[in-house]
Every structure is written in C-alpha cells, then in structure tokens.
C-alpha cells in the first residue's frame, strides 16, 4: 500500500467505521483533484472491495446502467448477468450478489463519483435509498462509501434530502487540500527538495491539491515546472480550469461569472456588488451559487470587523483559480517560458502579496500556535475603511488591515502579511503608515481591546530603530508546522 501523506483523522475515522459492528455509510467529499478516491483506494483497495463502481461523466442512464452491470459482472464473476433496465433492478442485483458473498469480515462497497450516477429522470436516489434503508443498513458487515467531487450535489441532494436518506450517513468526511507541511512531505516523496520559500510559491499557485503537485518534476526548477504545467502549449494542466468547474457544477457559466468577478477584487465583494458585477438576477440563484462555491472551498465568506450590518463579503479562496485569472487566462500559449520571463515584474509582486495573505488565512491555526494562543477562542476577519470627511471637516484617511485575530482574552492581533525574499525592512515611512493605520482603526471601531501589532513575513523583519512598532512576529517556517 502506498504511503498516505497526512489525512490522519480521516484514516482514523474510516478505520473506525471498518471495525464497527454495525452497518456504516461514509460520505467522502471535497474539491476535485483533492485525493478522495486515492484515500479510499489506499485504505481498502489492497484487500479488495466487495463492489466498486465509478459514475460516468455526462453519460445518460443506459450507459450508467451498462457501466454498473459490467462492474457487477466483474465482481460477481457472473458474465451472464442480465443488464438491468432501471436502478431499482440494478440495486436488487447488487443485493443478491452481496447476500451470496458473506466473508466473515466487513465488506466495503464503494460508489465513486456518485453524483454522476444521478442523471436526470433516472430515479437513482430513490433506488439507492431503497437499497440502503430496505436491506444494507441492517447488515452488520457492510461499509458503504460514497464519494463525489460535486460538493454542492452531495450537500443539497444527499445531506439535505428530506426523504429516506436524510441523516442516514453515519460519517461525513470533508477532505481538505494539503497544508504547507503536508505539501512539503508530498514533494519530498516525489523526490523534489525545494526550500520553503519555493514551496510556498508553488502552494500559492496550486494550493495543496495532490493531483496538481504530482505534475511537478524533480529535474526541473520551480519556474520551469510552472511553465511546463501551465504555459507551454498542451502543458500538463493547460485545460484544467474549464474541466474543474464543468465537472462540479451543472450550470458552470454562472459560477464562472462569480469567480471571475471576485478575481478582480482581492478584498472581496458583497452579494449586492456581485449582482452588479455579474448581471445575475437578484434572486435565490445567486445565493445558491455563492453557497455552493463556499461549500466547495472555492470562495471564503466573512464579515468586516466592526460592521453593524451582517452583510457578508465573499473572497476568492482557491489558489489555482486566482492564478488562472491573474496569469493563465490571457497568456496561455503566447510564451512557453512566460513564468521564467516574469521574474520580478510588478504584476507578479502584487500577486505574491495578496496571495500570501490567503495562504496565511488558510493556516490560521499555525499562526495562532506561533503566537502562543493556540487554545484561545478567536474569530478572524479583515478591516477596510474608505477615506472620508466627517461633519467636523476632519478627514479620516482610508486604511486596510489584512487580518484581525479577535481573541476572547480581550486582545486583537492586527496582522500585516508580507511575502519578501529576505528580511523585511521597516523604514520611517512604513512605520508611520502602520501607526496611522492602527490609529484609524481605533478611531473608527473603538474596539475596547488591547491591540498587538503583528507581522507575518517569509523571513522575519530586520530589527532597526523602526521595528519596535511590531510587537509579535510570525515567519514562513511557523506556517509549515504540523496542523
């Protein structure tokens, strides 16, 4: 069995279900390419599944039934098994096969890409429900695992289904991308030994997505690998963007409008601003699109600190999508060495800055541990204030704080993030900018909490007569700590 990087809690949970003396149904879901199928295959594939079938993408009912029948013929050894005419008949055949194959240990049934099996008008879910509620859940030796990249389908059609499948899953396992620590382990396993500064950059392009990371080659430099995957004609991941959204969302054009609008506004947009930017109708559709994107991990929803209204702001959170709109969309196949030729350009420097902020937000637990507040209850947010004049003609300058860690111990860490190739130097102007930012924050929000000015950088800050403005530091190595 291949070594599984990370996924310790998920492995422990699947093992618990396998050792249970009751019938269990596990739902493993998450973003496309995140490693769901690999995890299940590595956990149980070596001992052999009792039955496994994978849904076919955009295939009609007859093709899905044929695919199911071929899988059942293979596992049962019965090549004369008649092809079912409906899902009810298909599941009855599966039940009869399982009745005849008791082995004295837990039998694992694996439905991979389950959402693709649920074609329009096929009554798949009704037949699946009948199979589980009418027979399988009474069998102590059954572990049924369903898997799917269409997270919105899993949540809306499976978890929230009001019929017989409601609350039937005995375990829900949402598989997240790798952390920086796990990404480093994965790359080392691939024979790639890069310094953490480079690993952070590839993470800001690919996120912790195992399939993307697998495309990297140990004999190429970081820049050459990026060119090879994304910018060379017919590169390894040249067509990934369209496939990514089309295979997850039925009406992907609406989702693409939202993520493209968010890609142009790095601090995020409210629902109202998105309606204006996308021209989507102001109804339940855009609410559903946003909820689906958040559930799938492509978008982050948060509130600005101190806002009286509960209006949420939506921010693009998927690293690959951010990279696509920043560099790939308008540059593919124009320059085979685009990334190598883009070293130190203003566009790249700006991208590194705002993307590092997202990387930090995805590793907030590591940040808290580095600050010594790992066990303190916190709430994370951002803050932005447009410059304006008051009634007393006293101008208030505009200001923005990348990350606020609002702590239950009546303290707020006001965090600045900087991705820099060496120690970050705070000069007189930057020190004044920081102080003005904090004073504006105090004046506007009146937090009544102790503020701790915090810097999150790659290699720390260079200590000089201005660095005293920073009270706590977090460096890139801290973000690589175990989750």
- Give phi and psi for 81, each to the nearest 5: -60, 130
76 in helix, strand or coil?
Answer: helix
Model pLDDT, residue 153: 83
Question: Residue 96: enclosing H or E segment and its boundaries?
Answer: helix 87-99
Question: Residue 395: enclosing H or E segment and its boundaries?
Answer: strand 395-396
Low-confidence ranges of the chain (pLDDT < 70): 1-2, 162-164, 166, 308-310, 332-333, 387-397, 483
Segment 78-97, tens digit of pLDDT: 999 999 999 999 999 999 99
- CATH architecture of structural domain 8-174: 3-Layer(aba) Sandwich (3.40)
Cα(40)–Cα(28) distance, rounded to whole angstroms?
Answer: 9
Model pLDDT, residue 397: 58
How many C-beta atoms surround the C-beta of residue 23 within 10 A? 19
Residue with tokens 């000015």: 453
Q: For domain 364-479, which CATH number applies: 2.60.40.1730, 1.10.357.10, 3.40.190.10, 3.40.1350.10? A: 3.40.1350.10
Question: 346, 330 in Cβ contact below 8 A?
Answer: no
Question: 147, 40 in Cβ contact below 8 A?
Answer: yes
Cα(44)–Cα(231) distance, rounded to whole angstroms?
Answer: 38
Answer whether 0.85 is exceeded by the pTM: yes
| Longest CA pairwise span in the chain (Å) | 88
Model pLDDT, residue 393: 47
181-184 CB contacts, 8 Å cutoff, 24+ apart: 181/6, 181/480, 181/481, 181/482, 181/483, 182/5, 182/6, 182/208, 182/483, 183/208, 183/213, 184/480
Q: How many CA atoms lie within 13 A of 228 on its CB side?
A: 14
202-207 CB contacts, 8 Å cutoff, 24+ apart: 202/226, 203/319, 203/359, 204/319, 204/323, 204/352, 204/355, 204/356, 204/358, 204/359, 205/319, 205/320, 205/323, 206/319, 206/320, 206/323, 207/177, 207/318, 207/319, 207/320
Model pLDDT, residue 22: 94
Question: Residue 182: enclosing H or E segment and its boundaries?
Answer: helix 180-189
Q: What is the CATH number of domain 242-325?
A: 1.10.10.10
Task: Return the domain boundaries, the chain.
Answer: 8-174, 180-238+332-354, 242-325, 364-479
Burial class (CB in 10 A: 0-12, 13-18, 19+), 322: buried
């Amino acid at each position: 069995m291949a070594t599984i990087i990370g996924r310790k809690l998920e492995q422990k949970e699947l093992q618990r279900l396998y050792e249970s003396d009751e019938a269990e149904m596990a739902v493993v879901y998450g973003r496309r390419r995140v490693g769901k199928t690999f995890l299940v295959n590595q956990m149980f594939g070596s001992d052999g599944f009792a039955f496994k079938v994978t849904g076919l993408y955009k295939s009609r009912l007859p093709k899905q039934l044929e695919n199911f029948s071929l899988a059942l013929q293979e596992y049962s050894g019965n090549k004369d098994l008649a092809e079912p005419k409906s899902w009810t008949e298909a599941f009855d055949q599966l039940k009869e096969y399982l009745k005849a194959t008791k082995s004295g240990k837990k039998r694992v049934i694996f439905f991979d890409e389950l959402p693709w099996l649920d074609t329009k008008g096929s009554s798949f879910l009704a037949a699946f429900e009948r199979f589980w509620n009418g027979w399988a859940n009474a069998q102590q030796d059954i572990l049924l695992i369903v898997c799917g990249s269409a997270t919105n389908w899993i949540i809306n059609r499976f978890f929230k289904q009001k019929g017989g499948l409601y609350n039937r899953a005995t375990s829900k396992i949402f598989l997240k991308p790798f952390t920086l620590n796990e990404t480093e382990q994965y790359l080392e396993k691939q024979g790639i030994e890069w310094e953490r500064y480079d690993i952070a950059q590839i993470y800001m392009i690919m996120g912790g997505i195992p399939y993307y990371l697998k495309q990297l080659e140990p004999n190429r430099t970081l820049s050459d690998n990026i060119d090879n995957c994304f910018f060379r004609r017919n590169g390894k991941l040249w067509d990934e963007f369209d496939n990514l959204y089309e295979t997850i969302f039925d009406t992907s054009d609406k989702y693409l409008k939202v993520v493209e609008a968010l890609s142009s506004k790095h601090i995020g947009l409210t629902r109202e601003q998105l309606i204006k930017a996308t021209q989507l109708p102001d109804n339940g559709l855009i609410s559903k699109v946003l909820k689906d994107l958040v559930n799938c991990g492509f978008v982050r929803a948060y509130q600005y600190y101190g806002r009286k209204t509960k209006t949420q702001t939506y921010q693009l959170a998927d690293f690959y999508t951010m990279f696509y709109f920043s560099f790939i969309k308008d540059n593919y196949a124009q320059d085979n060495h685009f990334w190598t030729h883009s070293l130190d350009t203003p566009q790249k420097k700006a991208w590194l800055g705002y993307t590092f902020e997202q990387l930090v937000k995805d590793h907030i637990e590591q940040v808290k541990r580095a600050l010594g507040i790992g066990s303190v209850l916190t709430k994370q947010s951002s803050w932005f204030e447009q410059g304006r004049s008051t009634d007393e003609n006293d101008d208030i300058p505009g200001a923005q704080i990348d990350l606020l860690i609002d702590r239950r111990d009546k303290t707020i860490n006001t965090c600045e993030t900087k991705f820099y190739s060496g120690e970050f130097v705070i000069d007189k102007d930057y020190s004044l900018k920081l102080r003005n930012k904090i004073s504006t924050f105090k004046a506007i929000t009146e937090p009544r909490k102790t503020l701790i000015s915090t810097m999150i950088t790659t290699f720390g800050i260079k200590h000089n007569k201005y660095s005293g403005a920073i009270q706590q530091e977090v460096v890139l190595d801290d973000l690589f700590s175990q989750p």
